[in-house]
Structure 1
């Protein structure tokens, strides 16, 4: 591979060396590299890009070397953060109930409960920001407000990415998209408005309200029904209150039915954990598709 003579060539070679890697990892690596290269170029203002890059090749590393370091570090980090593998189950029942020991399933269930709050916030922020940006566009400070709003959208994208990565285990960017501060402000603003990820992030924020309602409702109903079935006969025997209220009359299965309702309640709770795990995979894939810049 030829020695890069410009920062763009270096980044292109680094992107090619990271071909096939996770797009979130690629975004982080490109951000770190560009930030370092431009900082070095600013400190050596009397030298050309080619001279600075030749010097950096021996300190920061050639693109293929940097790519290898990032991939190796990513494997180490993911291995350290990955929860202990579950014991393989040979039977169908074993595989079904084995999810009870999976911490990711509980984290995904908690994400479903949290998604209503985050969905309301994201939706409100996006709709309010878009409305005000359009409404204020006829005023002098309208463009400045729109730029500020879209800047907050990028910040919220990183915040949601951290939530997704911690709770759902999907690798998300830990760095923002790089913005060259040496470029004219008008050009940087143009890049932000023409970046497809800006608009896909807004779409994600709008989608989170209906998805949050769906996730929260499913989680609450699943938890309520499973727990109620499991303990309702005992609660009825102790307090006289049942899980069904009709005209202030409370009904519940008789105490002798406790073993059956307990089994059904546990079965429904385990099924809810499976559902939460599936929701986690789907939500992680949606976030990766809409919030992460393509590595291509």
Structure 2
């Protein structure tokens, strides 16, 4: 069944959203932003033209909603193939799958994200708490609303930045365009829209959660890395230079000779287990970012 030609920008965007139903919410946000930016630019350049007539002309040049949706689907497949890292070599045995994680680029990038999450988490937490406190505290003054608007705008910008980090390092598709802001809408209305948008508050919740999550990821990374290296290298270092890597009450600890192979194997297992854990954290963090930072499709 052919849809009638949209008569307003909102109708066009609703049709485009309907045509993209079931696609990734991040893809839908990008498509809606591009379409709205193009449509409003065309309307600004042709102020005296009837909206229905102009939309009919735009649908011929830019594309009808169904056609635009199909173009974005095709483009998404091409971009995804180009950005997807080489797949790891398939392993058949359990040991092969366990140690084969070292060849997965996503595991290493997720491992680096575990380190990066702490400084970014501290920054997000401080920025959000300080911005909220000052925004509500300054509401009684004339600069209160402009300051709150500026703060909410920075929250949206940081959301886009975090999305790019998550997509590049964790492999989760995130928006590459921000939410569209109509510049011809009165300033107070734009601020009101940002305040009432659930994604504004879910984004700030995400930024607050990044501090405890960042601490957890960092501690987990440092603990497993240091203990794994200590267990794996302790007997070798002790035999080579005469001192160990594990200090207990001022005394270097070295396992008995019969236990050394087991401690070395345990240390190596912890190091490779850390890579597997990083892949699991990447899936969890990507899902959390998608649910809190991206509007539902």
Instruction: Report the 3-state secondary structure (helix = DSSP H, G, I; strand = E; otherwise coil) of the residue aligned with 1:293.
Output: coil
2:22 paired with 1:20: yes
- Further displaced range: 183-192 or 169-178: 183-192
User: Which of 60, 74, 82 matches 1:80?
Assistant: 82
Q: Structure 2, unaligned stretches of length 5 or more?
A: none
User: Which of 41, 44, 56 matches 1:39?
Assistant: 41
User: Which of 286, 289, 295 matches 2:288?
Assistant: 286
CA contact 1:233–1:254 (8 Å) conserved in 2: no
For 2:256 and 2:241, how far apart are their aligned partners in 1?
13
Q: How many residues align?
A: 295
Look up the match of 2:170. Answer: 168
User: Which of 5, 8, 13 matches 2:7?
Assistant: 5
2:55 paired with 1:53: yes
Q: How far 1:110 moved relative to its partner?
A: 0.8
CA contact 2:237–2:245 (8 Å) conserved in 1: no
Instruction: Report the 3-state secondary structure (helix = DSSP H, G, I; strand = E; otherwise coil) of the residue aligned with 2:128.
Output: helix
RMSD: 1.4
CA contact 1:230–1:264 (8 Å) conserved in 2: yes
Q: How far 1:198 moved relative to its partner?
A: 0.2
What are the residue-to-residue correspondences of 1:210-229 with 2, within 5 Å? 210-229=212-231
What are the residue-to-residue correspondences of 1:232-247 with 2, within 5 Å? 232-247=234-249
For 1:234 and 1:156, how far apart are their aligned partners in 2?
46
CA contact 2:238–2:254 (8 Å) conserved in 1: yes
CA contact 2:118–2:217 (8 Å) conserved in 1: yes
For 2:268 and 2:253, how far apart are their aligned partners in 1?
20
Q: Structure 1, unaligned stretches of length 5 or more?
A: none
What are the residue-to-residue correspondences of 1:187-206 with 2, within 5 Å? 187-206=189-208
TM-score (norm 1): 0.96
Q: How far 1:254 moved relative to its partner?
A: 5.6
Q: How far 1:130 moved relative to its partner?
A: 0.8
Look up the match of 1:66. Answer: 68
1:106-136 deviation per Cα after TM superposition (whole angstroms, max 9, x unaligned): 1111111111111111111111111111211
